[in-house]
Amino acid sequence: MRQMITTLAMVFIGFTAMAQQQATNPNAPQIEFETEVVDYGTIEQGANGVREFKFTNKGKEPLIIKNARGSCGCTVPSWPKEPIQPGQDAVIKVKYDTQRIGPINKSVTVTTNAATPTKVLRIKGQVKKPEQVKTTPVKEKSSLMAK
């Protein structure tokens, strides 16, 4: 029993030391976004709902994006599946369902192998109904006036 407790303690200490070593890796990838909030402004229902979050790997090792998850089904991210090399730029695209009228206030949680492994990106804005096109009736020339 004592030997089992000692073994478990050593395994725990090993994992803790390994986690600390990874957390202090000076060469770890670093994800830096141009902006962490994209403002759609006021857009019409059915408008293009795709926006991009541009980022750079500022670290010294390849950056791997493990996952990106929208806060609901109306916010769908897509991200590069291949490693982003040090100094390389890339984008995470986010598609918002613009059929939903009202305010936009959603998030996308990005999980990576970077020194800071989780980043939360936000989208905001307003979706409004399309303006009804107002037309002025055109007076047709009568056939008598045309002659």
pLDDT (tens digit, 0 to 9) for every residue of the chain, 147 residues total?
Answer: 666 565 555 555 655 555 554 557 899 999 999 999 999 999 999 999 999 999 999 999 999 999 999 999 999 999 999 999 999 999 999 999 999 999 999 999 999 999 999 999 999 999 999 874 344 555 555 555 554
**Residue 136 φ then ψ, to 5°:** -95, 130
What pLDDT shows up at residue 133?
Answer: 36
List the structure tokens of 29. Answer: 């990838």
The number of beta carbons lying within 10 Å of the beta carbon of residue 77 is 19
Domain 27-130: CATH architecture, name and number where available: Sandwich (2.60)
What pLDDT shows up at residue 130?
Answer: 86
